[in-house]
Amino acid sequence: MSVTGPPKSPKLPPRWFVRAAWSVHRGLYRILPGRRALWRQRGKRWGTMRLTTIGRRTGQPRAVIVGYVEDGDDLVTLAMNGWANPEPAWWLNLQENPDATVELVGGSGRIHAYAATGEERERLWAEWRKYEPKLDDYAALRDTETAVVVLQRRAT
C-alpha cells in the first residue's frame, strides 16, 4: 500500500547563503579577466548577464548579475529575488526607469525593459521551464506572481 503525503516544496538554501553567493558572484565578476563570471546561454543552461539600472531613490547606477534566456533579439529574465517574497530592487528600479544597460560575454548594450503579460508571458515562462524544470515549484514559494521581464535591445 502506497501512502502519499502533501506535495513537497523544493529545497532552497538558507537566505543568508543565497545572499552570500550573490556577493561572491559579483566579486568574481570584478576580479576575473575577460568577464569570466558571465556565461552565454548554451544547450540546457541559461546565461548570466550584468544588468545596470538607475536606482529609483538614489539616481545612482546599481548593478546586479541575473540569469537570462534569449528570445530572438530580446533577453528574458525572471524577477525572482532568490524565490523570496520581496520584489528584487533591480526590478523595482526598472519599473521606475525601464532603460538600462547589460553586459554579456559578447559585449554590452542598452536595453528597454517591460513585464511580459498574457500569452507572451505564458510562452516565455514555458521557455524558462526548459532550463529550470522545477520553475513552477519555486515560483509557488512566493506570495506574488514572478514577473517575466523582457529586455529589448536598443541601438547604441
CATH of the domain at 86: 2.30.110.10
30-48 average pLDDT score? 78
- For residue 8, what is the DSSP state? P
Res 86: pLDDT: 86
Domain range holding 48? 38-154
| Cα–Cα distance, 147 to 117 (Å, whole number) | 9
Residue 130 lies in a domain: yes
Q: Give the count of domains, the chain.
A: 1
Res 120: pLDDT: 98
Q: Is the dihedral of CA 58, 106, 26, 149 positive or negative?
A: positive
pLDDT above 70 for 123: yes
Residue 55 lies in a domain: yes
Res 106: pLDDT: 85
